[in-house]
Structure 1
């Protein structure tokens, strides 16, 4: 077993020292992955780490921003950094659902229909400009993003694991686009915006353009088995009972907020807890603290909320509401490490 593969898992009865050691190896491999991606996506360490948290939470990522800030580059860099099968789907208005899921074709030799899988059958799927696909085509992703399988002509076909959809969209250019419905947005564990690079990073990109690291020069730094072990370890990370209560109270507070037409669903609670566990492991801890939850609340919850028209006219956003909720819900004070097995 390699050192990366050992980012793995203590046995079911492992003690605190074993869990801490595995968490340290988890953090080391997480940092190696982030560093490799940052060689291509410069000056965006926070966004890179959020994307990796999403991957290791077995969630899906929506990257939303204006053209030219590295949305697709980030998605492809994550795909290349993990030694796993990946595909890219360019969404256009004439893309059909079968172009994504695959089709059944009659085999005259065998006198039967054979299923030919589409590009969705990969570990990492880059859905480029997803909002340019028609609603019918977008709906082809609903089942696979939630249940990790595709049903064609009544027969289920599971996708490989780990499985992640990394979708990009441009929120400014609305011509020829179809807004993602709430059911689709809710299936994305996280939404992030890249933002423009700072001055120094943009100068470094220009200076290193002819010779700097490129996607073609990147190589995998983790195998799919490493990712699977990291996912499994994060799933078993200790969570103190007050933190379960804290996550539920945060999400429930959005459902009662006067500036929202739609609050977050229970799926948001599960997503926030999964992501917080990965953040804790990435920090080298074998237990959660409230800061893990607070740091991820906006990217995990904000895109699931619908602001009232009156609040929208005042410039309010889902992120603003999540910030208010974080300030209003008391933070638990219990020591999370006390109950670590």
Structure 2
């Protein structure tokens, strides 16, 4: 029996794919936008993506709420962490050059933005969901789930931490695992690969694609934890070098505070709801850049992928 079990085990190991995978481990950075935290750049991509202006300058997607102002405040180290996170148009010039965003959506606490509801006529026609009711509604209306953080502060935003691992396989594919802890509870997150076509050439151009294909979404648990595995049809850890067809610069963990998805784009740019209005990068994973900042939050022990179950044990280990 023992020999039989050993033989079966050997067969199983021999048949298992991707045994010789190389692993890359990346700690995430909580972010206030694309490659920015506290008004500064998180990582330098100039050596691998010199023409990518989107990565060179702080591209702010969330600010803090200033009552009565036309624009939200820029979060810096001096900002009070008790301020409410708010929408911003700082990043609109890149994604929405026509700048047709409704001013009423700017400098709003993110819980005030709302979501499309039944019978809406345009993507800008939004209902702000009620809080989870203490008593049953007589008439059903859109409402947020019980654990949702409707109006988070800067401090709430900055509790998140993340881990990403990339297993690069011999056939050119990769398996990517992402865990975010202490994010927003019962929230919609999507994951995006931002990189370069034809890197380090005159034809270099930026791409943003859903990580692992569509759907690239996950919902965090009541503790704000989300963990997800992606099978990627290319090696996410491939080098940015001359002669490469493409390379990945970063993975973005994008928080949709309107609770909606927009297909193969993070936001509804086509309908004048760009990034910064209905969602933002919350967790930034630097693949090919040089870190200029240490992560504001560390991925604490146990440093493995997974979320706590009710017995305080992890249900996934990688």
**TM-score interval, smaller chain:** under 0.3
Q: What's the TM-score once normalised by structure 2's chain length?
A: 0.25
Point out the structure with the larger strand share.
Answer: 2
Point out the structure with the larger helix share.
Answer: 1
Q: What's the TM-score once normalised by structure 1's chain length?
A: 0.24
